[in-house]
Amino acid sequence: MELQGTVKKLFDAQTFASGFQKREMVILTQEQYPQPINIEFLSDKISLLDNLKEGENVKVGINIRGREWVSPQGETKYFNSITGWRIEKVSENTSEPTQAMPQQSASPVSNENPFAGDDDDDLPF
């Protein structure tokens, strides 16, 4: 899946006691009602955020992950996370749709019925 938007916030990398690392960013989607979406980058993917700046337009390849957690009281809860694995900078002028020019036909169009001389009608109905 992909998300496209403007980089709203870049966070510093976090390192946990286990050695696990993650870094998060927030992008603001470009739609009628823009949404701030938090995306996390894990382990070796955190370096993808090194060359980004807030305000840049990006397209991010994502995976949506879900997990189940059971509380000490026995209550089951479900959590989702959005994990990024690729980032592509998008320039302003490439995000606008372009119109294709109609092609000019080299041969004139004929209005003749190609089946006009076909008297051999062997259809069963």
Question: pLDDT 10s digit of each residue in the chain, 125 long?
Answer: 999 999 999 999 999 999 999 999 999 999 999 999 999 999 999 999 999 999 999 999 999 999 999 999 999 999 999 999 999 999 876 544 434 444 454 555 556 665 666 566 665 65
Beta bridge partners of 58: 5, 89
Nearest-angstrom CA–CA distance, 78 and 7: 27
Cα–Cα distance for residue pair 53/117, rounded to 1 Å: 70
pTM (predicted TM-score): 0.68
